Amino acid sequence: MPNRVVISKLGGSKVLEYQKYKLSDSLDPNFIRIKQTSIGINYIDIYHRTGLYPLPNELPICLGLEAAGDVIDIGNNVMDIKVGDKVAYATIPLGAYCEVRDFDSEKVVKIPEFLTNDEAASILLQGMTVEYLFERLYKIKKNEFILFHAAAGGVGLIASQWAKSVGCRMIGTVSNEKKADLALKNGCEFVINYKKENVLERVMEITNNSGVPVVYDGVGKDTFKISLSCLQTRGLMVSFGQSSGMVDDVNLHKTFNPKSLFYTRPTLMHYTRNKEELKISSTSLFDKIKEKKLKTNIYKIFDLKDADKAHELLESRKSSGSIILKT
């Protein structure tokens, strides 16, 4: 029997349990069976484990939204995928932390030959996130300043490279010098250590007192007010995550009216709603990699059974780049 990681209650990393499970005897006609080799760890997995985001099913539940592997069986209706293909996915339903998974064939992408399964699992979710944030939600432009928090994280290092590839002048925030160096090496043009420096003062200095037209904030509670202060009049606040905790309730008038700001709280699933959008996003990401404008950054690989250690590392703020699990 294959193995998986489930939670039976909400809580810290130790609620993750490694256990055997039984595969279904039959395969849905529209599904494929994937022998998963590599599983992406994302901050959303922590929100699910702790209960910050409500879980869609009753407990126990297998966590995870991203994996890559080899197709070992296909349902009767599946035409465009064959046994032996290498595929990856980055979407609901939860359940990626396992060795073998049956998955909707419409929701997977074929892994291009220039990427390994490990690389695909490390970049698909975070990379498609950067794609929609920078290309479709707000199109970043050459020579324009943007502010992006946690610039050396999994999403952050991809954002640094993507911004550089279009000539956009990314100002990134990080919590230490090692992360600052890494963000700069990946193409972030200016780095602010938000443990030591005043972010607003530095942003105004860099932008010649203009502020930025857009802030990408995945840190949440600790950075929300700072982000708003750095925006220009009619700027856009993109609040796409909350690694430091949920943003407190806001007074709409007091918060957004003084500069007529725009606000959005986007999620990848709403930018990859169907096969066409999934293709747009994944193709754009894979093209960047093929053109050598973007590379994967795997910080650490853990065994599936050590998913708790992977969660602890991500929560510790000591990682930079992506973390994956191997089966």
Ligand X SMILES: NC(=O)c1ccc[n+]([C@@H]2O[C@H](COP(=O)([O-])OP(=O)(O)OC[C@H]3O[C@@H](n4cnc5c(N)ncnc54)[C@H](OP(=O)(O)O)[C@@H]3O)[C@@H](O)[C@H]2O)c1
Residue ranges binding ligand X (CB under 6 A): 42-44, 126, 129, 150, 152-156, 174-175, 179, 218-219, 222, 240-244, 266-268, 314-315, 317, 319
Q: Which is nearer to ligand X, 62 or 268 (CB)?
A: 268
CB of 307 to ligand X, least distance (A): 14
Q: Shortest Cβ distance from residue 129 to ligand X (Å)?
A: 4
State whether the Cα torsion 105-106-109-110 is positive or negative: positive
Closest C-alpha to 163, from 191, 204, 131: 131
At its nearest, how many Å lie between ligand X and the CB of residue 156?
A: 5
What tokens were used for 195? 């443990």
176 vs 229 by CB, closer to ligand X: 176
Tell me whether residue 67 or residue 314 sits nearer to ligand X (CB atom).
314
Strand partners, 237: 215, 263
Q: Rounded to a whole number, what is the distance in angstroms from the first to the last CA of the chain?
A: 13
What is the C-alpha R_g of the chain? 20
Q: Which is nearer to ligand X, 193 or 229 (CB)?
A: 193
AA letter at 98: C
Q: Which is nearer to ligand X, 105 or 129 (CB)?
A: 129
Shortest distance, CB of residue 252 to ligand X, whole angstroms? 21
Tokens of 51: 């209960």
Strands 86-90, 109-110: pairing is antiparallel
Tell me how far apart the alpha carbons of residues 171 and 148 are, in angstroms, rounded to a whole number.
Answer: 6
Three-state SS at 65: coil
CB of 23 to ligand X, least distance (A): 29
